[in-house]
Amino acid sequence: MAEAKALFSAYDPSSKFWSPEDRVLIAESKTDPSRVARRIAFARRVGVLVDDPASLAQALRGKKIRVRTFSLKGAKPSEGVYDLLEGLDVSVDLGNPDFEFTVVEGAQRYVVLSNPSMMNQSWSLRRPRRRAFFHPSAIFPKLSRALVNLTRCKEGQRFLDPFCGTGSIPIEAAAVGLEVVAADRSSEMVRGALANMKLFKQSWLGVLKSDAFQPPLSSVDGIATDVPYGRAASTRGRGASDVIRLATESLPSVLIEGSIMVLMHPEQLPVESTRELSVLEEHRLYIHKRLTRVITILRRR
């Protein structure tokens, strides 16, 4: 939900939200839902909520549709779902529809019209082991995309990953149209990230061998990174807690006022507000009994 809110708010800061039940988020927003659908990682469907039969009939008149149903309770959708289509001037086309007609059943029923192709993101093609350069510290495309989206950066804005590693996060940032700068202290990682960039035919602003604590550029619109820790990630002699402290002290110098920095870090190494950064949100991801990742969202004061 945080990812969806961030995307809607990026394009329309006046967006309002409510969640009538678990796993359902409704936005009152001027944002085109297709813009969110083509970017979002952790959502099943994004579209226009239709709760008026007359509006539904008008929107679908003469259109080709494909029907999808989801149950939030894990059971089969009720047979009455298809009764919603009775009397509508529509034809069914599974291969090339104009709209996807989605019915979500939970405590109540939600009818959504969406673009049928927007959410085909080809995640599996960008999995770490399918890249030109692999390292065990690499994170998966969906999580990388979510970190990018949480920055609220829009197409054409400048984005920095100061601990880029193999390029997991920059790859997803470039895929949604951001101007990407990737940096890492390790020559091996810089070469690997560059190889991965070329594999996906992307063009980043730069792939730099640079210390994150001496940022190599003057200003960016957003920062997202997975702070290095553990055996698989080199911190070049610095303790992980020192890396986090130095990151929150040095990176705000290049972050435009009011912009967002997203840090993913282990739970035992907390991130707190500073004179230049205020913590907006924290989200926990349980990995295994010895590791829970925290995604901390900070705003430059």
pLDDT, tens only, 235-265: 555 678 889 999 999 999 999 999 999 999 9
Residues 61 and 129 reside in one and the same domain: no
Who's near 55: CB < 8 A, 6+ residues apart? none
Residues 10 and 41 reside in one and the same domain: yes
Mean pLDDT for the chain?
92
Which residue range(s) make up the domain with 16? 2-114
Q: Which 3 state secondary structure label does DSSP give 12?
A: coil
Which domain-ending residue is among 114, 137, 157?
114
Residues 61 and 195 reside in one and the same domain: no
* Of the candidate ranges 30-39, 49-58, 133-142, 182-191, the one whose mean pLDDT is the lowest: 49-58
Residues 72 and 145 reside in one and the same domain: no
Whether the predicted pLDDT of 299 surpasses 80: yes
Q: Tell me, what CATH number does 159's domain have?
A: 3.40.50.150
Residues 152 and 291 reside in one and the same domain: yes
Domain count, the chain: 2
Residues 163 and 253 reside in one and the same domain: yes
pLDDT, tens only, 163-177: 999 999 999 999 999
Residues 66 and 215 reside in one and the same domain: no
Which domain-ending residue is among 56, 89, 114?
114
pTM attached to this predicted model: 0.94
Phi-psi region of 201 (alpha: psi -120 to 50; beta: other; left: phi over 0): left
- pLDDT mean over 84-106: 90
d(CA 282, CA 270) in angstroms, rounded, equals 10
Residues 68 and 163 reside in one and the same domain: no
Which domain-ending residue is among 114, 134, 155?
114
Whether the predicted pLDDT of 231 surpasses 60: no
CB 256 within 8 A of CB 219: yes
Percent of the chain with pLDDT over 70: 97
Who's near 106: CB < 8 A, 6+ residues apart? 21, 22, 23, 24, 71, 72, 73
Residues 106 and 192 reside in one and the same domain: no
The pLDDT of residue 47 is 95
Query: What sign does the CA torsion over 203, 208, 212, 218 have?
Result: negative
